[in-house]
Structure 1
Amino acid sequence: MRSTIISSVALCALILSSAAFAAGGGGGGMDSPPAKPSDPNYTQAKSMIEAKNYKAAMPLLQQVVAKDPQNADAYTLMGYATRKSGDPTGSLQYYNQALALDPKHIGAHEYIGEAYLMLDRPAEAEQHLARLNSICVFGCTEYRMLKAALADYKAGKKPVTN
């Protein structure tokens, strides 16, 4: 009986984690693949962003959303590229668009929280941390990253902008 219970718990955990991954939520992290087959422009833009070539990635991402206006991952990357180019205020529009399309997009929640910290708006960052806490039932990297950035912010350290 005990092994049956343990097996059932393990199976439930596997199903929940698989369902969370398959449900999208954007993946969001720079190392996460998009939920659907990727547009070549998206793939190239993501590579450019990983190489810190943020401004050059923007026209490619604009082409992606022109073809697929429901692509929350592309809007999240547009926000990320804009923020990393030194414009946290400008990034908010893209993160908000991503969250309008996918309210559970974990990457968009993390990154908009970091943008709010750059703008000295920690209360709004905390709202997104709370949202991540409810989305990431067993915890996730995005939650831990935003939580650490908030702790650093409160300790008077410059916000981390990964």
Structure 2
Amino acid sequence: MRFAPAAAALSLLLVTTASVTHAGDRDADPRAADLIVEGKALLAAGDTQEAIDAFEAALAIDPGYTPIFLELAEAARQDGLQGKAIRYYREALDRDPDNFAAISGEGEALVEKGALEKAKRNLARLESLCGSNCPETLALQGVIAAGSPARLAAETPESTASTN
């Protein structure tokens, strides 16, 4: 009888842990899934604002579905809003700290913003988690190797010729 409170607490802990680990692998609400598909199509067609609207509507329907944040981040990057994209990637990482796509995407957005050192930290994290040959690592390596658009614009021959 004296072990009953401890057993009840332990069983409650196990139920909570099982439900949390299962929540990360679930499918999106069907209505949200339809909006995600619509948003992807709009994004592919170049209509970023309508895509963002579709993704935000999907998020309102299913706020617990983490991949929506990755879609919102991609749309924000295509719209030139790297800071907003980084915020979405970090929200996804708060929910799933080892999400390779979020780590890589955040690194790419950091490069686009000109923060190469921070992007290299993301690359090191990816290499430690999934190795140097996983697709996310290779993608981020390529973006870092290409450099930031701001740095590349500063290094063009036209910009050096105009300063002489």
- In the superposition, the TM-score normalised over structure 1's length comes to 0.68
Alpha-carbon deviation of 1:70?
2.2
Q: Distance in 2 between matches of 1:35 and 1:109?
A: 21
Q: Give the Cα separation in 2 of the matches to 1:36 and 1:137.
A: 27
Query: Percent same amino acid at aligned positions?
Result: 25
Of 43, 47, 61, the residue aligned with 1:49 is: 43
CA RMSD of aligned residues (A): 2.5
The TM-score, its normalising length taken from structure 2, stands at 0.67
Q: Which residue of 2 aligns with 1:135?
A: 129
Q: Equivalent residue for 1:114? A: 108
2:12 matched residue in structure 1? none
SS in 1 for 2:147: helix
Matches within 5 A, 1:63-82: 63-82=57-76
Other-structure match for 2:15? none
Residue 122 of structure 1: how far off its partner (Å):
0.9
Matches within 5 A, 1:98-113: 98-113=92-107
> Gaps spanning 5+ residues in structure 2: where?
1-20, 154-164
* 2:132 and 2:138 in contact (8 A); partners too: no
Aligned amino acid, residue 115 of structure 1: A
| Structure 1 residues not aligned, in runs of 5+ | 1-22, 27-33
Report which of the two structures shows the higher radius of gyration computed on alpha carbons: 2
Query: In the aligned structure 2, how far is the partner of 1:137 from the partner of 1:71?
Result: 27
1 or 2, which has the higher helix percentage?
A: 2
- Equivalent residue pairs, number: 126
Alignment equivalent of 1:40, drawn from 34, 37, 62: 34
**Contact 1:91–1:115 (8 Å) recurs in 2:** yes
What SS does the corresponding residue of 2:144 show, helix, strand or coil? helix
